[in-house]
């Protein structure tokens, strides 16, 4: 079996007491644990001002996985991470054109860091390695590696949505982005909707076509392009949740609730997650269903995220104000409706909190997948499962057909769905939950990883190999 090399912007080198918050880190940690290999990317740290901006990777091996990470200079982080990745690609790919900012400076920083990654990674690569690159930060990486002469099989997985062509073409360099994707052998999206958007783009912009064998041919290369919905470690998560009665935080939370029904939301503080609309829906629910006042509590766990990006700082203020307004309007001396927590909670405690919750509120305005939705389902007590209230715009909605689906832009509709979820009979809850849990057991993170790698490990066709060689 070839060695697997994973490349992602964020690499969660395991350190005690720092759980990864972010679905990519969570999903890939599960995948890497099973197979071992090399994981390359950004350390999460900054180079000292004045330091050499071409740092050598710091390499450590833990439990069969070798981590090679580099620090980045402040300018690189500003232009590549906070700039082009998170002020252009992230909002645009989440259908939020009005939040984008395109500049030549950040675009050039994006390419500079991709080249730096390629330069530092290439010496660590053996000819038989297969290379699996993750997410929007690193779209040009394969083209950079190929330009340096690497002939390895390379795959790319996009964890965020791929937008429809009318939105993608707002990006001035959209054609280059799609050309960069064609340097991979396999491109994976989260859902069939993303795949359809890609296919429509390729057809409309006349950059390629589908071959009879299902692959796409574009820019002189044949590329396998498929949907591979990312999964979680379903059974492990279910087992942790079942044993969570021993967790002190979970016990204290249960005691603090008394017999009130818990509603839970867990999201990075990100505008794509629809947290403001969700709090408004909770407010509307308390207004329209006063019998629930004092009988429920909504716990919103929201670690801060990407604080260097101005739009995130703005939404932090907006959400804090809304939370204050709801509590100011509805709190009683002995009851606080909304518990708004701006810190990361460890995954063992999270599993237990999900299991305590009668409703999992997962209402992003747009999301690649949303692992929280899957974790909520996995954590439920089969005898008394809670209800997943899920945005139709989360990638997870393509699979989780037992959820109560909602449109997060429809605040009144979400408020009504919340009341319906809290009132749902045990029989209906069990029926909705069991189908979803079965699906998550078969389509778990190991299945996701195996499906993608099976496509990537397909031997290359001679015609493709010669085309690449000819392209130099
Ligand atoms: O690395 P950060 O900037 O702190 O952000 C955290 C991660 O957020 C995004 O996660 C996505 O991947 C999940 C797993 O496939 C998916 O469920 C979710 O819908 C996506 O938003 C981002 O794509 C990652 O690169 C970040 O590391
Ligand atoms: O306090 C927290 C908040 C989130 N998470 C984890 O972070 C991931 C979030 O992934 P998701 O796909 O829902 O969204 P993303 O943040 O990647 O956009 C999930 O596995 C959560 O369990 C966590 O461990 N602690």
**Ligand 2 pocket residue status of 88, Cβ below 6 Å:** no
Choice among 185, 194, 367, 444 that is catalytic: 367
Residues 52 and 95 reside in one and the same domain: yes
Tally the domains of the chain: 2
Same domain, 271 and 412: yes
Pocket test for ligand 1, best of 20, 21, 22, 448 (most atoms within 8 A of CB): 22
pLDDT score, position 23: 66
Q: Domain check: are 238 and 322 in the same one?
A: yes
94 assigned to active site: no
Per-residue tokens: 206: 């006349």
* Same-domain pairing of 292 and 256: yes
d(CA 28, CA 159): 11
Residue 329 corresponds to which tokens in the numbers above? 């309007």
pLDDT for 55 equals 82
Tell me, using a 6 A CB cutoff, whether residue 360 lines ligand 2: no
Q: Is the CB of 378 under 6 A from ligand 2?
A: no
Residue 323 alpha carbon to ligand 1 centre in Å: 25
Nearest-angstrom CA–CA distance, 248 and 252: 6
Report the separation in Å between the CA atom of 62 and the middle of ligand 1, taken as the mean of its atom positions: 23
Query: Which residues of the chain have a pLDDT value below 70?
Result: 16-23, 30, 460-472
User: Which residues on neighbouring strands pair with residue 42, listed in sequence order?
Assistant: 10, 70
Same domain, 30 and 115: yes
SS3 of the chain: the string is: CCCEEEEEEECCCCCCCCCCCCHHHHHHHHHHHHHCEEEEEEEEEECCCCCCCCCCCEEEEECCEEEEEEEECHHHHHHHHHHHHHHHHHHHHCCCHHHCCCCHHHHHHHHHHHHHHHHHHHHHCCCCCEEEEECHHHCCHHHHHHHCCCCCEEEEECCCCCCCHHHHCCCCCHHHHHHHHCCCCEEEECCHHHHHHHHHHHHHCCCEEECCCCCEEECCEEEEEEECCCCCCHHHHHHHHHCHHHCHHHHHHHHHHCCCEEEEEECCCCHHHCHHHHHHHHHHHHHHCHHHCCCEEEEEECCCCCCCCHHHHHHHHHHHHHHHHHHHHHCECCECCEEEECCCCCHHHHHHHHHHEEEEEECCCCECCCHHHHHHHHCCCCCCCCEEEEECCEHHHHCCCCCEEECCCCHHHHHHHHHHHHHCCHHHHHHHHHHHHHHHHHCCHHHHHHHHHHHHHCCCCHHHHHHHHHHC
Q: Which domain holds residue 253?
A: 234-442
219 plus 346 within the same structural domain: no
Do both 26 and 149 map to the same domain? yes
Are residue 140 and residue 203 in the same domain, yes or no? yes
CB 88 near ligand 1, within 6 Å: no
State whether the beta carbon of 30 lies less than 6 angstroms from ligand 2. Answer: no
What gap in Å lies between CA 351 and CA 345, rounded to an integer?
Answer: 10
- Catalytic residue, chosen from 159, 267, 270, 444, is 159
Q: Are residues 202 and 159 in the same domain?
A: yes
- pLDDT, one tens digit per residue, over 253-309 is 999 999 999 999 999 999 999 999 999 999 999 999 999 999 999 999 999 999 999
pLDDT at 440: 98
User: What is the predicted pLDDT for the residue at 36?
Assistant: 79
CATH number for the domain including 294? 3.40.50.2000
Residue 20, pLDDT score: 56
206 and 82 share one domain: yes
Atom of ligand 2 nearest to the CA of 347: 24
Note the pLDDT tens digit of each residue in 434-456. 999 999 999 999 999 999 999 99
367 catalytically annotated: yes
Q: Which atom of ligand 2 is nearest to the CA of 27?
A: 20
Are 284 and 410 part of one and the same domain? yes
Pair 171, 191 in one domain: yes
């Amino acid at each position: 079996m070839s060695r697997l090399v994973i490349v992602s912007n964020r690499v969660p080198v395991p350190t005690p007491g720092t759980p990864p918050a972010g679905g990519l880190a969570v999903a890939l940690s599960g995948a890497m644990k099973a197979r071992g290999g090399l994981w390359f990317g950004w350390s999460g740290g900054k180079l000292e001002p004045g330091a050499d901006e071409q740092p050598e990777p710091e390499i450590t091996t833990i439990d069969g996985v070798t981590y090679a990470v580099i620090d980045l200079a402040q300018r690189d982080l500003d232009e590549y991470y906070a700039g082009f990745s998170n002020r252009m690609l992230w909002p645009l790919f989440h259908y939020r054109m009005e939040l984008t900012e395109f500049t030549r400076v950040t675009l050039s920083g994006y390419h500079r860091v991709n080249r730096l990654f390629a330069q530092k990674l290439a010496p660590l690569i053996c000819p038989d390695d297969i290379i699996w690159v993750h997410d929007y930060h690193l779209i040009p990486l394969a083209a950079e590696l190929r330009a340096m002469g690497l002939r390895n099989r390379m795959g790319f997985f996009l964890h965020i949505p791929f937008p429809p062509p009318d939105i993608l073409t707002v990006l001035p360099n959209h054609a280059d982005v799609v050309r960069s994707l064609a340097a991979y052998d396999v491109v994976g999206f989260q859902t069939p909707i993303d795949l359809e958007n890609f296919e429509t783009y390729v057809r409309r912009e006349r950059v390629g076509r589908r071959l009879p064998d299902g692959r796409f041919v574009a820019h002189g290369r044949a590329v396998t392009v498929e949907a591979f919905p990312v999964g979680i470690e379903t059974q492990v998560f279910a087992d942790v949740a079942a044993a969570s009665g021993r967790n002190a935080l979970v016990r204290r939370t249960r005691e603090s609730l008394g017999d009130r029904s818990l509603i839970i939301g867990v999201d990075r503080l990100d505008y794509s997650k629809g947290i403001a609309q969700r709090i408004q829906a909770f407010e509307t629910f308390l207004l329209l269903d006063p019998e629930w006042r004092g009988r429920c509590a909504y716990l919103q766990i929201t670690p801060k995220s990407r604080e260097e990006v101005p739009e995130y700082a703005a939404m932090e203020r907006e959400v804090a104000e809304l939370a204050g307004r709801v509590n100011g309007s509805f709190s009683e001396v002995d009851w606080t409706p909304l518990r708004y927590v701006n810190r990361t909670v460890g995954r063992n405690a999270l599993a237990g909190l999900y299991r305590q919750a009668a409703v999992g509120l997962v209402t992003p305005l747009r999301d690649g997948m949303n692992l929280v939705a899957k974790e909520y389902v996995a954590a439920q007590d089969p005898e008394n499962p809670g209800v997943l209230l899920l945005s139709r715009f989360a990638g997870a909605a393509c699979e989780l057909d037992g959820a109560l689906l909602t449109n997060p832009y429809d605040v009144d509709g979400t408020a009504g769905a919340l009341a319906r979820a809290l009132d749902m009979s045990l029989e209906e809850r069990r029926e909705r939950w069991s189908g979803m849990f079965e699906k998550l057991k078969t389509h778990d993170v190991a299945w996701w990883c195996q499906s993608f790698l099976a496509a990537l490990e397909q031997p290359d066709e001679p015609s493709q190999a010669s085309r690449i060689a000819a392209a130099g």
